[in-house]
């Protein structure tokens, strides 16, 4: 969740949102593939990933097409509001688990919104993290679920960007740098995850969501 969430706002201060989204698309997608493979033994714990993934991929395609025209600020503010509501709810009722019928019923709208966010502003992490958090998976099951969705949404985004001719020579050079940075940190994150207990991991996810809200507000202000 952290790479595009932190890198897109930071890079957009210097090169613009459009360039930042394009440059980070490939390293982010590949990093999520690596993390997903690493956590694949926990895939049996998850559910709804097929439906969520397909809808998210479709939403990402639509989001890329809207990248130039879609107003960014209202989307970011809505995303921050959703994070705040989730965090408040978590601290009030931290053990709430969504039922299978609830997750199935809401999988399409959640996947669609996450996909559009991924394609349009390069950030779907908070939505996916909040949604999968409600499944109350183990830490490896959680990582498998979110990275699978990030990979599917990112792959769809990447295909559309490539077909649209967004990867110029200068952008490809920047992609190479971003790729090296992402790959160098994947083993660090994997080792760190193995040392986190279940409750601590859950609290870390919520902390990352709070940080993400602050990061998005900084992006809006800039």
Residue 160, domain member (yes or no): yes
Mean pLDDT of 163-178: 92
pTM of the model: 0.78
Within a domain: 36:
yes
Element (H, E) at 5: helix 2-15
Q: Which residue would you say has higher pLDDT here, 46 or 211?
A: 46
Q: Which residues contact 110 (CB under 8 A, 6 or more apart)?
A: 52, 127, 131
Contact assessment for residue 125 and residue 212, using Cβ atoms and an 8 Å cutoff: yes
Domain annotation covers residue 5: no
Binning pLDDT at 50, 70 and 90, where does residue 84 land? confident
- Report the first-to-last Cα separation within the chain, whole angstroms: 21
Query: What is the rounded distance in angstroms from the CA atom of residue 34 to the CA atom of residue 95?
Result: 30
The pLDDT value given to residue 197? 65
Residue 180's domain spans which residues? Answer: 16-221
Which pLDDT score, from 0 to 100, does residue 60 have?
A: 87
pLDDT at 169 exceeding the cut of 90: yes
pLDDT at 95: 62
| Per-residue pLDDT tens digits for 89-137 | 777 766 667 888 888 889 999 999 888 888 877 778 778 888 888 888 8
Min mean pLDDT across 2-16, 21-35, 174-188 is at 2-16
Domain count, the chain: 1
pLDDT for res 9 = 67
- pLDDT of 140-166, one tens digit each? 899 899 999 999 988 988 988 898 889
In a domain, 159, yes or no: yes
Q: What is the mean pLDDT of residues 203-211?
A: 79
Q: What is the mean pLDDT of residues 19-39?
A: 90
Would 24 be classed as within a structural domain? yes
Residue 173 pLDDT exceeds 90: yes
The mean of the pLDDT values for the chain is 83
Q: Report if residue 4 sits inside a domain.
A: no
Is 10 inside a domain boundary? Answer: no
The verdict on residue 6 lying in a domain is: no
Given a cut of 90, whether residue 175 has pLDDT beyond it is yes
**What's 1's DSSP letter?**
-
> Above 90 in pLDDT, residue 172?
yes
- Interatomic CA distance for residues 86 and 127, integer angstroms: 10
Mean pLDDT of 178-195: 81
């Amino acid at each position: 969740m952290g790479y595009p969430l932190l890198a897109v706002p930071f890079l957009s201060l210097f090169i613009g949102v459009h360039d930042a989204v394009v440059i980070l698309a490939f390293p982010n997608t590949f990093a999520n593939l690596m993390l997903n493979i690493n956590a694949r033994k926990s895939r049996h714990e998850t559910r709804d990933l097929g439906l969520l993934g397909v809808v998210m991929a479709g939403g990402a395609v639509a989001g890329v097409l809207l990248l130039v025209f879609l107003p960014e600020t209202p989307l970011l503010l809505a995303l921050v509001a959703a994070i705040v509501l989730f965090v408040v709810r978590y601290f009030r009722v931290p053990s709430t688990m969504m039922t299978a019928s609830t997750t199935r019923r809401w999988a399409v709208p959640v996947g669609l919104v996450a996909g559009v966010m991924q394609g349009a502003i390069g950030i779907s992490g908070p939505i996916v993290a909040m949604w999968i958090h409600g499944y109350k998976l183990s830490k490896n099951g959680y990582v498998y679920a979110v990275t699978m969705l990030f990979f599917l949404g990112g792959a769809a985004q990447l295909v559309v960007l490539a077909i649209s001719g967004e990867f110029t020579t200068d952008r490809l050079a920047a992609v190479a740098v971003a790729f090296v940075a992402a790959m160098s940190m994947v083993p660090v994150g994997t080792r760190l995850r193995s040392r986190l207990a279940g409750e601590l991991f859950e609290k870390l996810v919520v902390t990352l969501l709070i940080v993400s809200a602050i990061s998005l507000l900084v992006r809006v202000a800039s």
